[in-house]
Amino acid sequence: MVALDGVDLQVHDDEIFGLLGPNGAGKTTLIKILCTLLLPTDGQAYIKGLDVVKQASQIRRLINLVSGGETPGYGILSVKENLWFFSQLYGLSRDFAKDRVSKLMDQLELQNYANTRMSKLSTGYKQRLNLARGFVNDPAVLFLDEPTLGLDVLSARHLRTLVKSWIQTGGKTVLLTTHYMAEADQLCDRVGIINQGRILALDTPQRLKAKVASGASWKIEITPNLQQLDSIKNIPGMVGISQTDNIETGVSTLKLILQDESAMSDLLTQIRQNGSKVLNMGKSEPTLEDVYISLVGTGLE
Amino acid sequence: MTTREELVTNLRAAYARMWVRLKGSNREVTGLIVEIGLPILTIGAYVILYRTIGLSIQAGAAVIIGGAMVAFWTNVLWNMSAQWFWERESGNLEMYLVAPVSRMAVLLGMAMGGSLNTAMRAVGIVLLGVFIFQVPFQLHDPFSAAFVFVLTIAALYTLGMMFASLFMLYGREAYHTANLLQEPVYFLSGAYFPAIYTPIVPFALQATASLIPMTIGLDAIRRLAIYGGDITTVWLHILALIACTAILFPLAKRSLNYMESLGKKEGRLTLRWQ
């Protein structure tokens, strides 16, 4: 099975680069190769000019990795102790480590939990601790693999602010993978859309969105949802479609990218034939999700 | 990075890992009580049995020392050999692999922390055992006894480091293998009875037992602490223990490098729930 196929990209200093793609697209595999956790079967990859295979130990001084939903550390140790421990894996001196740990606890609002055992933290705070750990060596390149997975809205916003301000300190690079289109749009300087191991598009969010023709993006709310999405995908003029169901209200939202509006009448006929009722419809400004739909044909869901 | 910086980073990592082990194991006082108290029950059973069948009083002392050493073997198996497995499941292994430290430094920290922790428990077991069962010790050469003890621990934990490397890629097999190695070594090393120099135990079994560092160390410590021996009585044991450590340490390093490289090639180092 090929996890990554002909991926060719360059991420610059002072840049937040986002990799957008569904599960199994190859995002984590790429990050693991760059973090020296996996050896590529073919091809080359460099971090700050250093080869990930031949100069792995030098690269490890420059990087750190934060994987969302993961809670590395020792449950029996407190927040402060865990951060101190991880700082020692980077050889930070005692006073320097103490200072760095204290600052990180301030930045991630962990001070009130400094002496709380990790095992007693809520999932959100464990994730904050994980993020703090990622900054403990002040890496030149930070890999964030789905960093806001499982975080509440406030914590996720906090993380984005932190990453934004950190990158402004200069000489830093962030490679972020995410499912969340809005997150990539808000945070990333450039975005690569990856599917089945291939990079399908790579540009700034603005340029990517501009590639979806104005007026081609539609949002339709229906109830009940469409059971046979495949028949709709095959309507002439349909570039891509995604359906998101709201279980609570029973309303489904269709995001459509149309080549031309003549596809709309066929679409409405199909919706009627499905027994569904249109509640609301309208054109929408292209988003990164629309870019994804236009490239892959379906949404991330 | 200069060699000095690299050394300092690795020493700090080893110290930190040792600190985690010490802190983690001693924060729960109940654990300490259980780890000292429960072995006394097994030891007690043997001491009572040996007294009942009229064995010499030294047999009880030998069992107490054996019971204390068992704590080290258990620690080597569960907290050294299978450790990478637990670290991988908790997501820590990835963090170790991404960090600029030698995995040997991390293992060394684990070994130091584990041996210090277990030494505290072993002292507790011996003191409690002596107090309860009133067995005699004849320690004429405490320096040699301490030296042999340190050599035994070094050999045992170096073996643990090698096992840890071999178990790096294992999933649940690590758990089963640790289980598999536990009781046979208790038996072969003679933790609760003399496995060597006993005609009833076949020679082949005695020879196999003699290859296990715990058997060598246990025998030497018993000779020094119970039977009043000195360094001249155990010089062969000392040589064997030094040889074990000298052979096992580079083997551990090589196997760690090999397994890490294999794991990275096959993508198994970061796989969970295997």
Span B179-211, pLDDT tens digits: 888 888 888 888 888 655 566 777 787 778 888
From chain B, which residues contact A within 8 Å (Cβ)?
1, 5, 8-9, 12-13, 15-17, 19-20, 23-24, 27-28, 90-92, 94-101, 261, 264-265, 267, 269-270
Q: What is the pLDDT of residue B198?
A: 64
Q: What is the pLDDT of residue B195?
A: 59
Q: How close A190 comes to chain B (CA, Å)? A: 25
Nearest C-alpha in A relative to B269: A37
| Token couple for B250 | 């580079």
Whole-number average pLDDT of chain B: 89
**Mean pLDDT within A29-35:** 95
Q: Which among A61, A65, A88 is the nearest to B16, CB-wise? A: A88
Q: How close B126 comes to chain A (CA, Å)? A: 28
pLDDT at A181 over 90: no
Span A67-103, pLDDT tens digits: 988 889 999 999 999 999 999 999 999 999 999 999 9
Q: What is the pLDDT of residue B245?
A: 96
Residue B89 CA to residue A72 CA, distance in Å, equals 9
- Reduced to 3 states (helix: H, G, I; strand: E, B; else coil), residue A78 is strand
Asked if A42 reaches chain B (Cβ–Cβ under 8 Å), the answer is no
Please answer yes or no on whether A89 and B16 come within 8 Å at the CB atom.
Answer: yes
Strands A190-195 and A198-203: antiparallel
Q: Is the pTM of this model over 0.90?
A: no
Please answer yes or no on whether B94 and A64 come within 8 Å at the CB atom.
Answer: no
What is the amino acid identity at position A255? Answer: K
- Reduced to 3 states (helix: H, G, I; strand: E, B; else coil), residue B173 is helix
Please answer yes or no on whether B9 and A91 come within 8 Å at the CB atom.
Answer: yes
Q: What is the pLDDT of residue A133?
A: 96
Residue A184 CA to residue A206 CA, distance in Å, equals 11
Q: How close A37 comes to chain B (CA, Å)? A: 6
Q: What is the pLDDT of residue A283?
A: 87
Q: What is the pLDDT of residue B194?
A: 65
- Reduced to 3 states (helix: H, G, I; strand: E, B; else coil), residue A178 is strand
**Within chain A, how many helices (H) and strands (E) appear?**
11, 12
Please answer yes or no on whether B1 and A61 come within 8 Å at the CB atom.
Answer: yes
pLDDT at A141 over 90: yes
Whole-number average pLDDT of chain A: 91
What's the pLDDT band for B62 if we cut at 50, 70, 90? Answer: very high
Residues 138-197 on A with a CB inside 8 Å of B are none
DSSP state of A121: S
Asked if A67 reaches chain B (Cβ–Cβ under 8 Å), the answer is yes
Which of A88, A94, A126, A143 would you mutate first to test chain B, the one with the most B CBs within 10 A? A88
Sheet containing strand A238-246, strands side by side:
A238-246, A251-258, A217-223, A277-283
**Mean pLDDT within B130-158:** 93
What is the helix (H) or strand (E) element at residue A182, kind and residue range?
Answer: helix A181-187
Q: Measured at the alpha carbon of residue A283, what is the angle toward residues A281 and A289, in degrees to the nearest 5?
A: 105
Q: How close A192 comes to chain B (CA, Å)? A: 24
What's the pLDDT band for B157 if we cut at 50, 70, 90? Answer: very high
The CATH topology of domain A15-204 is Rossmann fold (3.40.50)
List the domain boundaries for chain B: 3-266
DSSP state of B149: H
- What Cα–Cα distance (Å) separates residue A200 from each residue in A16, A40, A155, A260? 19, 20, 31, 22
**Mean pLDDT within B15-44:** 90
Kindly state the percentage of chain A with pLDDT values over 70. Answer: 98
Q: What is the pLDDT of residue B267?
A: 84
Span A285-300, pLDDT tens digits: 888 888 988 888 877 6
Residue A40 CA to residue A32 CA, distance in Å, equals 10
Q: What is the pLDDT of residue A91?
A: 95
Span A252-275, pLDDT tens digits: 999 888 887 888 888 888 888 888
Contact between B67 and B136 under an 8 Å Cβ cutoff? The reply is no
Span B72-110, pLDDT tens digits: 999 999 888 888 888 988 889 999 999 999 999 999 999
CATH superfamily of A212-296: ACT domain (3.30.70.260)
Nearest C-alpha in A relative to B87: A72
Please answer yes or no on whether A36 and B23 come within 8 Å at the CB atom.
Answer: no
Q: Which among A37, A39, A63 is the nearest to B94, CB-wise? A: A37
Rg (CA), chain A: 22
Whether omega for the bond prior to residue A224 falls within 30 degrees of 0, making it cis, is yes
Q: What is the pLDDT of residue B199?
A: 67
**Mean pLDDT within A236-246:** 87
What's the pLDDT band for B136 if we cut at 50, 70, 90? Answer: confident
Q: What is the pLDDT of residue B66?
A: 93
Kindly state the percentage of chain A with pLDDT values over 90. Answer: 58
List the domain boundaries for chain A: 15-204, 212-296
Residue B154 CA to residue B159 CA, distance in Å, equals 9
Which of A1, A36, A37 would you mutate first to test chain B, the one with the most B CBs within 10 A? A37
Q: What is the pLDDT of residue B204?
A: 81
Q: Which among A36, A58, A91 is the nearest to B5, CB-wise? A: A91
Span A205-225, pLDDT tens digits: 999 988 876 668 889 999 888
